[in-house]
Structure 1
Amino acid sequence: MKKHIVAAAVVTAIVQPAIAADLFENPTPQFREQQVVALAPGYPLFKGRVAVIDGRTLWYPQYAQRVRLADIDACELPQWALNPKWENREQAKAPAPVPCGPLAKAWLKRTVGNKPTECTVVAYSRDGIPLARCVAGGRDLALEMLRVGWARIASPYPNDSQYLAYQDYAMAARYGMWATYVLDMNEWRRKAVDKTLNRHPIADFNLLAERESEISPPFVDARNKPKRTDR
């Protein structure tokens, strides 16, 4: 048993030296079940229960480590979409706002629940956050987010063709954000001045009026909308 504990600690030290040092002193069964196993230098496997930060990011509290779902993107928490299905369009001043960021987070949180989550790191983002394929309860979390329409593929050439098939299905059915007007996330990150959680829907309404790109289906009446300042 002691040999197994020491071996686990050595492997863990590749990724989390501080935690590994603590493991040598306090080898608890709980930690051994949630250890980080290095598959290759710099490419670990995280196991354990997680918290959901947003629609594509998980938090492993036992490692103080964020992990981002690979190959997909989702609305940022302060980001708003706009629902084109509002009543009496002649009198309506603007489409109804849809909190696409919080809704994406809520769906990912619902999918993960309290189940242990296993994330296999496949790469690192430019900001140093691990990008991983994550599974909880036997379900690929990125695939689940694509299925319900609260995420999009991050590249037109995903590593898994099933990802594109699930996105196409969600788009055709207009699930999630595909039933809204919503700015492409990368453009939103470049242009949004206010990225706080108290951001008002009108800010994204105005960004859509001058957008360069969008991810939702090309609703004709979403184009050339005038800017407004009264909301």
Structure 2
Amino acid sequence: MMGGWMFLILLSIGAYVAANLPPPERAVTGELQGAATASDGDSLRLDGRRIRLEGIDAPEIGQTCRRGEAIWDCGGDARQHLKTLTSGFTTACRLHGHDRYGRDLGVCEAGQRDLGREMVLSGYAVSYGRYQNEEEAAREGGVGVWSGDFVQPQEWRRSNGGAEETPHEADNWSGLILQWLEEQVRVIFRRLVNGG
């Protein structure tokens, strides 16, 4: 009986560690550098290519959010914030393949700042797995979309006939491991409670 509890404790520690590991960096398939323009809150145009910022999801153009009784253009503001972050800086992107729509997936920096991280920290995007701590900080600070009520961008696209998008591959590995570990903990706990 004691061995089962010890295993459960070790499994829980392993789950905690797995949940707090940074996502692995996928193989770099290309690098781009230059002046970027913001297409929306999570996409850039750089050197004639459309780059989807990996690990974030921003409100869509045309999407509105609420602050109390006021409605604000959170999709347009997200694009404007990304434009501000890139303005006057050279943008450098490490590409990691393509999403299912053929867009380059990339982690991009401007002015030595990770654009995805900055978008999530400011509350103009939500994490797609890569920036969970930043999302928590934005939520606790009540900034950007977290300053009121909003529909998750993925849900907004679904209800407005937009493209269905799922979290990016590079960001979901820890979620799958955590899901498996949680299931193992439930199985072990049931065995311990049921005495066998």
Q: Structure 2-normalised TM-score? A: 0.66
SS at match of 1:123: strand
Q: Deviations over 1:17-36 (max 9, x none)?
A: xxxxxxxxxxxxxxxxxxxx
Map 1:44-123 to 2 at 5 A: 44-60=30-46, 63-84=47-68, 95-123=69-97
Q: Which amino acid counterpart does residue 58 of structure 1 have in structure 2?
A: L
Q: Which residue of 1 aligns with 2:109?
A: 135
Sequence identity, in percent? 30
The whole-number CA distance in structure 1 between the counterparts of 2:150 and 2:61 is 13
Q: Deviations over 1:161-205 (max 9, x none)?
A: xx221111110011000012111111111111599xxxxxxxxxx
Q: Which amino acid counterpart does residue 100 of structure 2 have in structure 1?
A: R
Q: Deviations over 1:54-75 (max 9, x none)?
A: 1111112xx3210011000000
Displacement over 4 Å in runs of 4+: none
How much is the aligned-residue C-alpha RMSD, in angstroms? 1.8
Q: 5+ unaligned residues in a row in structure 2: which ranges?
A: 1-26, 164-196
The whole-number CA distance in structure 2 between the counterparts of 1:182 and 1:101 is 11
Map 1:143-154 to 2 at 5 A: 143-154=117-128
- How many equivalent residue pairs? 137
SS at match of 1:101: helix
The whole-number CA distance in structure 2 between the counterparts of 1:176 and 1:192 is 22
Larger radius of gyration: 1
Q: Which amino acid counterpart does residue 98 of structure 1 have in structure 2?
A: W
SS at match of 1:66: strand
Relative to structure 1, is the Cα distance of residues 96 and 194 closer, same or farther in structure 2, using a 3 angstrom cutoff? Answer: farther
SS at match of 1:54: coil
The whole-number CA distance in structure 2 between the counterparts of 1:186 and 1:167 is 16
Q: Could you say which structure has the higher helix fraction?
A: 2
The whole-number CA distance in structure 1 between the counterparts of 2:100 and 2:148 is 29
Map 1:158-169 to 2 at 5 A: 158=130, 163-169=131-137
